[in-house]
Amino acid sequence: MGGFGKKALFFTILFIVSLEATMAIKQKEDDDNLNKFVLSPTKTIVRIFNKLGNGQDLTIHCKSKDDDLGVVTIGDNGVFYWKFRVNILGSTLFFCGLNWTDGYGVYDIYKAKRDMDRCPTRCNWEAHTDCLHGLRQGDYLWDFIYNWTRPS
């Protein structure tokens, strides 16, 4: 690569880094803005663990606006996971229907506006018989709870 090409590449990279830094600062200042501009360099992994016990299976069907992850059934102590990058507007949403013998529900499992700070790269959920628990990344506290709908 010639001298001009190297300089052009250097300034292009410098511009992208500057843009990313500017957007990160703006994001922190305007946390309630629905149309956040995000350039996510890393993928987020979402995991749902079956902690129902007693050999109970958990059936899961997760979707986003663009992707249907299909229906899977995981056994006791099993895990279902997927990886993705948050979209440019920071509006990524995955919702999942979960179903087991004594409960069911459809829940927002990953919602960028809520989860970009709560669990930026690892969002873990555990399905227990009492409810579905969400783990906050960093301090590993269960900070989010969805209650099951019980069959009649």
Q: Is residue 57 part of a domain?
A: yes
- Please list the rounded mean pLDDT of every run of 10 residues in the chain (152 residues): 67 62 50 45 94 98 97 98 93 98 98 93 96 92 92 88
118 and 60 housed in the same domain? yes
- The number of domains in the chain is 2
> Quick one: 25 and 53 in the same domain?
no
Q: Do 81 and 109 meet the contact criterion of CB atoms below 8 Å apart?
A: no
Q: Which domain CATH number covers 120? A: 2.60.40.10
User: 123 with 92, same domain?
Assistant: yes
What residues make up the domain containing 15? 1-30
Q: Can you give the pTM of this predicted structure?
A: 0.73
User: Are both 125 and 50 inside the same structural domain?
Assistant: yes
Strands 103-111, 44-50: pairing is unpaired
Give all strands of the β-sheet with 58-63 in edge-to-edge order: 68-74, 58-63, 93-100, 103-111
Say yes or no: 66 and 141 in one domain.
yes
- Does the residue 35 lie in any domain? no
pLDDT of residue 14: 59
Q: Which residues contact 72 (CB under 8 A, 6 or more apart)?
A: 59, 60, 61, 80
| 57 and 19 in a common domain | no
**Is 62 found in the same domain as 104?**
yes
Query: Do 98 and 50 share a domain, yes or no?
Result: yes
- Tell me 24's DSSP state: H
